[in-house]
Amino acid sequence: MEYTSTSYSKLLRLFFARVLRPDRELHVEYHPGTPLPSTMRYTGEVTHVLEEHVFAPLHVFAVRGSSLVRRLQNGSLQAYLAYALIGLIVLLAVSR
């Protein structure tokens, strides 16, 4: 027997179980007529809380914002210069 990375991280996983919310399943198949198991399968999965509740909404917001900005880009150099001039005037007005 030897220690693995899973055994060293067990204490942290138990401590943060409410945050990590692991899903675990153990499947045991027995030999016919005996109480001894023939195969055991363990599956474990950790849901990514930050990814689902923070990064996914930020990604949706960024995609929607970029599609809005894409409408402003019509390829005209005069329009880009007008955007820059308007932005400069707004920044000067806000800074005073």
Rounded CA separation 93/96 (Å): 6
Domain count, the chain: 2
Structural domain boundaries, residue 59:
49-96
Residues 43 and 70 in one domain: no
pTM: 0.45
Q: How far apart are CA 3 and CA 62, in angstroms?
A: 44
Segment 52-61 shows an average pLDDT of 93
If you compute the radius of gyration of the chain from its CA atoms, what whole number of angstroms results? 28
Per-residue pLDDT of 57-88, as tens digits, reads 999 999 999 988 887 776 788 888 998 999 99
Average pLDDT over residues 23-27: 88
Residues 39 and 55 in one domain: no
Nearest alpha-carbon partner for 19 in 57, 42, 45, 50: 50
Residues 34, 68: one domain?
Answer: no
**Conformational region of residue 36, where left means phi above 0, alpha means psi within -120 to 50, and beta covers everything else:** beta
46 and 21 Cβ atoms separated by less than 8 Å: yes
